[in-house]
Amino acid sequence: MPVNRNALIRYRTIDNCLRNRHRRWTLEDLIDACSEALYEYEGIDKGMSRRSIQMDIQMMRSDKLGYNAPIIVLEKKYYTYEDPEYSITNIPLTDQDLGKLTEVVEILRQFKGFSHFQELSGMVQRLESKIHAAKTNQEPVIDFEKNENLKGLEHIDTLYKAITNQCTVELCYQSFKARSASTFPFHPYYLKEYRNRWFVLGVRKKNTPILNLALDRIISIKDCELKYIPRTKFHLPTYLHDVIGVSVNENGQAENVVLHADNETAPYIITKPLHHSQQVIETLPNGVVFSLKVQLNFELEREILGFGNRIKVIAPERLKRRIKDTLERALDLYQYEFNNASLQNNIQKLSKTGSVILHHVFGKKEVNQIKMMLHNHLRATGQPENVHALRNLLQEIPELKNLLLNSNLQHILKKINANLFLTKAIFFDKTPESNWYVTWHQDISIHVKEKIETEGFTGWTKKGDSYGVCPPEEILKDTITIRIHLDDTNDTNGALKVVLGSHNKKLSDEEISLITQSSIPYTCEVAACGIHIMKPLLLHASSKARSQKHRRVVHLEFNTADLPNGLEWAEKTEINTSAN
């Protein structure tokens, strides 16, 4: 039987009320809710009668509309659903409904062959699947790609209406790169979906470039009284003609991109082209060479990277370099992965032997950045490239701090002792031109004059006077040295040699001579990106290098104790304390 619009509004309102089990609903409550709904949706300012709502409840209980709603009355007063999961929106389709939908599908089928109605193909298949599942009470046999948790979908209807009605809107928008949101007028032209994400294209002002805004970054949309700027020359198919995805450089030119895909991947690219301009250039024994005429953008790079080692960029050269750099950084994440699981065992080893080597604390990219900053500083300050030491490293290059104290190193320091603070930072480069060496010794001096706080660490920054004295032994025991290796270090380029277990006390010259002559030293070979942690009282030495390779090291010292009575400790002799 036909149901008018007002009755449907009442049925839906009663259904919403009865599904809300946090409240008990009397007949008067349902009357008020239906009256408010009719006023809101239809502008009908007329109260509902008890008899009308009672008849609505009876209609919902019956099978005339297919609802069969399990509405019961509790305590002769409160209405509710006996089944808490019931809703009239969940009822199955009737045979009559299925028949009508089948007719609709047959009508839509007539348009599938026309170019203007190609988008209907997926819609028809969805309907056919739903009808089949409803008729046979089986699971759907087709599933379309979707993202149930995608943000921004609530803005589609508002933007669609703004575009069709040519209305300006006020957007509150925050891109992933922006620190805060910004609000501005926007003249929307098109909605575009790409890989389950929605974008709106338009302009902020007249004669300004087209903006491509992601709907999931829109915080809010409001009406705007500014006059709408209609699109004139802008046409979406033409605008996106030379790109993969939605990122367009309006002043950029399409370039000839040449790709080589192996034999296993080539069929996938042939049957699902990356772009409409795709052509097969050559078929080789080991794969197929394709060409695309597109702008170089983020989406193109993501498509290529998605194939991993199955595809290779042949041209242009700058795209080839970008893909190569990205893959190298990706490999860096795995190849230079810090092993956190064995850290506690290594800390125990440090306490016992006074020395431990940890690999992959830094990534290759981080180490290359450190090298580049050192190189640029030496060049900018007119210092020779083969300078063997920068003794006030973080004073000369303060921006190095964040790179040196990366998350891995800070985690290591907290595991060793949460109270550690930075006291010294020096850069050493044992080059073939300055091939110095250091005899067996302990690091027993420290330089302190001023202690300052610097984002999680305390730094002793000013050098004290040379008093010719050494700090107390308990302070040295609280000190640790961390040597960040920027190059592979081994015996051929002057790696440190240490006597394990010699870090428990200050030794006399005679004791040092006796121990080193009767012990077998351990050579600390450390690969680039690794660190060597040692106690300052550990006996160590370094020999001259026998190769032309650099041995660049950043030497950091950390301590936990304040000096007694404000006493200032000075380096006794620089050659014996730090040049190692």
Position 288 pLDDT exceeds 50: yes
- The model's confidence at residue 499, banded by pLDDT at 50, 70 and 90, is very high
pLDDT for residue 201 = 93
- Residue of higher predicted confidence among 551 and 142: 551
The model's confidence at residue 579, banded by pLDDT at 50, 70 and 90, is: very low
Q: Is the pLDDT of residue 575 over 50?
A: no
What is the structure's pLDDT at 101? 66
Residue 69, token pair as written in the block: 């709603």
- 30 and 79 Cβ atoms separated by less than 8 Å: yes
> Does 1 have pLDDT greater than 60?
no
pLDDT per position as a tens digit, 237-250: 888 899 999 889 88
Q: What is the mean pLDDT of residues 443-456?
A: 51
| Three-state DSSP string of 279-322 | EEEEEECCEEEEEEEECCCHHHHHHHHHCHHHEEEEECHHHHHH
Q: In which residue are the tokens 């009767």 written?
A: 518
Indicate the average pLDDT of the chain: 81
577 confidence band (pLDDT: 50, 70, 90): very low
Selected residue with higher pLDDT from 130 and 306: 306
- Of the chain, the percentage scoring pLDDT greater than 70 comes to 78
Q: What is the pLDDT of residue 561?
A: 61
CA distance 227 to 508: 87
Between CA 108 and CA 572 the distance in angstroms is: 91
Q: What is the pLDDT of residue 47?
A: 76
* Residues 6+ away with beta carbon under 8 Å from 386: 429, 431, 433, 434
Strand-pair partners of 171: 184, 221
Condensed to tens digits (0 to 9), the pLDDT of residues 329-358 reads 888 777 666 677 788 888 899 989 999 999
pLDDT for the residue 94? 62
Q: What is the rounded distance in angstroms from the CA atom of residue 295 to the CA atom of residue 293?
A: 7
pLDDT of residue 494: 80
**What pLDDT does 301 receive?**
94
The pLDDT of residue 262 is 94
Q: Distance between CA 175 and CA 214 in Å, rounded?
A: 8
DSSP 561: P
In this prediction, residues 432-453 reach a mean pLDDT of 64
**Which of 74-78, 88-92, 459-463 shows the lowest per-residue confidence on average (mean pLDDT)?**
459-463
The pLDDT tens digits for 172-199 are 999 888 888 999 999 999 988 888 888 9
Helix (H, G, I), strand (E, B) or coil at 187: strand
- Stretch (H or E) spanning 273: none
Burial profile 473-492: b = 16 or more Cβ within 10 angstroms, e = fewer: eebbbbbbbbbbbbbbbbee
Q: Mean per-residue pLDDT for 92-120?
A: 60
